[in-house]
Amino acid sequence: MVSNPLHEALQQAIRTIGPLIEQIEADIDRPCRMFHSGKVWTGSSAKQFDAQLTQFSIRARTAGQAIVDELRQALAGTPSEVTEDEAIGVRQKYGLS
């Protein structure tokens, strides 16, 4: 048995994507907090924009979490070791080195 290249690739994807998603969330959270302070913009148009900004923030968080969850689910269903022939097949199928 050898290491499953797909298992390794999924682990690497989680390690790569996790910090990127955290950065996106931080980048969205910052303007939301500033906007909610009431010092950026006020009035009825501001309230409408605030609602949209909040929805975009929620959507970004939800999508990011869904990506990580799906990768973790795929990882959980992927054996960490396979036969050499299976590893070769996985590398060819997914273009892994």
pLDDT tens for 15-62 read: 999 999 999 999 988 888 888 887 888 888 888 988 898 999 999 999
Decide if pLDDT at 76 tops 90. Answer: yes
Nearest CA-CA partner of 37 in 24, 53, 17? 53
**For the chain, what percent of residues have pLDDT higher than 90?**
70
Decide if pLDDT at 97 tops 90. Answer: no
Quote the CA–CA distance of 56 and 52 in Å, as a whole number: 6
